[in-house]
Structure 1
Amino acid sequence: MSHLGFLFTAYLLIWVALAIYMLSIFRRQKALESELERLESLVREQNASR
Protein backbone atom coordinates (compact mmCIF):
# COMPACT_ATOMS: atom_id res chain seq x y z
CA MET A 1 0.00 0.00 0.00
CA SER A 2 1.37 3.42 -0.87
CA HIS A 3 1.95 6.22 1.58
CA LEU A 4 -1.15 8.02 0.30
CA GLY A 5 -3.17 4.87 0.85
CA PHE A 6 -2.06 4.71 4.48
CA LEU A 7 -2.80 8.40 4.91
CA PHE A 8 -6.29 8.00 3.42
CA THR A 9 -6.96 4.96 5.63
CA ALA A 10 -5.82 6.84 8.73
CA TYR A 11 -8.03 9.84 7.95
CA LEU A 12 -10.96 7.53 7.23
CA LEU A 13 -10.52 5.71 10.54
CA ILE A 14 -10.28 9.00 12.42
CA TRP A 15 -13.48 10.31 10.82
CA VAL A 16 -15.33 7.05 11.53
CA ALA A 17 -14.18 7.11 15.16
CA LEU A 18 -15.22 10.76 15.46
CA ALA A 19 -18.65 10.02 13.98
CA ILE A 20 -19.18 7.13 16.42
CA TYR A 21 -18.11 9.35 19.33
CA MET A 22 -20.45 12.15 18.25
CA LEU A 23 -23.32 9.68 17.88
CA SER A 24 -22.75 8.37 21.39
CA ILE A 25 -22.70 11.92 22.78
CA PHE A 26 -25.93 12.70 20.91
CA ARG A 27 -27.62 9.61 22.35
CA ARG A 28 -26.47 10.42 25.89
CA GLN A 29 -27.70 13.99 25.53
CA LYS A 30 -31.13 12.80 24.41
CA ALA A 31 -31.29 10.40 27.37
CA LEU A 32 -30.35 13.20 29.76
CA GLU A 33 -32.95 15.53 28.25
CA SER A 34 -35.70 12.96 28.71
CA GLU A 35 -34.57 12.26 32.28
CA LEU A 36 -34.59 16.00 33.01
CA GLU A 37 -38.12 16.33 31.62
CA ARG A 38 -39.25 13.40 33.77
CA LEU A 39 -37.70 14.92 36.90
CA GLU A 40 -39.16 18.36 36.16
CA SER A 41 -42.65 16.91 35.78
CA LEU A 42 -42.18 14.98 39.02
CA VAL A 43 -41.21 18.19 40.84
CA ARG A 44 -44.21 20.02 39.35
CA GLU A 45 -46.54 17.24 40.52
CA GLN A 46 -45.11 17.33 44.03
CA ASN A 47 -45.38 21.12 44.20
CA ALA A 48 -48.97 21.01 42.95
CA SER A 49 -49.99 18.53 45.65
CA ARG A 50 -48.73 20.76 48.49
Structure 2
Amino acid sequence: MVLALFLLQIIESGFNILGISPYLTMALWGTLLLCFIQARGMLGLDRVV
Protein backbone atom coordinates (compact mmCIF):
# COMPACT_ATOMS: atom_id res chain seq x y z
CA MET A 1 0.00 0.00 0.00
CA VAL A 2 2.80 2.41 0.89
CA LEU A 3 4.60 1.57 -2.35
CA ALA A 4 1.45 2.29 -4.37
CA LEU A 5 1.02 5.67 -2.69
CA PHE A 6 4.69 6.47 -3.29
CA LEU A 7 4.38 5.63 -7.00
CA LEU A 8 1.18 7.66 -7.35
CA GLN A 9 2.89 10.67 -5.77
CA ILE A 10 5.82 10.34 -8.20
CA ILE A 11 3.40 10.25 -11.14
CA GLU A 12 1.49 13.26 -9.77
CA SER A 13 4.75 15.21 -9.40
CA GLY A 14 5.66 14.34 -12.97
CA PHE A 15 2.32 15.67 -14.21
CA ASN A 16 2.90 18.91 -12.29
CA ILE A 17 6.44 19.30 -13.66
CA LEU A 18 5.16 18.76 -17.21
CA GLY A 19 2.48 21.39 -16.63
CA ILE A 20 -0.43 19.08 -17.43
CA SER A 21 -3.86 20.59 -16.77
CA PRO A 22 -5.50 19.49 -13.49
CA TYR A 23 -8.58 18.43 -15.47
CA LEU A 24 -6.50 16.22 -17.75
CA THR A 25 -4.69 14.85 -14.70
CA MET A 26 -8.02 13.78 -13.16
CA ALA A 27 -9.04 12.14 -16.45
CA LEU A 28 -5.73 10.27 -16.57
CA TRP A 29 -6.18 9.08 -12.95
CA GLY A 30 -9.64 7.77 -13.82
CA THR A 31 -8.35 5.98 -16.91
CA LEU A 32 -5.47 4.48 -14.94
CA LEU A 33 -7.85 3.28 -12.22
CA LEU A 34 -10.14 1.64 -14.78
CA CYS A 35 -7.15 -0.08 -16.40
CA PHE A 36 -6.02 -1.52 -13.07
CA ILE A 37 -9.53 -2.72 -12.24
CA GLN A 38 -9.77 -4.39 -15.64
CA ALA A 39 -6.33 -6.01 -15.25
CA ARG A 40 -7.24 -7.38 -11.81
CA GLY A 41 -10.42 -8.85 -13.24
CA MET A 42 -8.62 -10.46 -16.16
CA LEU A 43 -5.95 -11.95 -13.90
CA GLY A 44 -8.56 -13.28 -11.47
CA LEU A 45 -7.20 -11.26 -8.54
CA ASP A 46 -10.64 -9.96 -7.59
CA ARG A 47 -11.98 -13.31 -6.36
CA VAL A 48 -13.02 -13.66 -2.74
CA VAL A 49 -11.03 -16.26 -0.83
Q: What TM-score, normalized to structure 1?
A: 0.48
Q: Which has the higher contact order (CA 8 A, sep 6+)?
A: 2
Higher radius of gyration, 1 or 2: 1
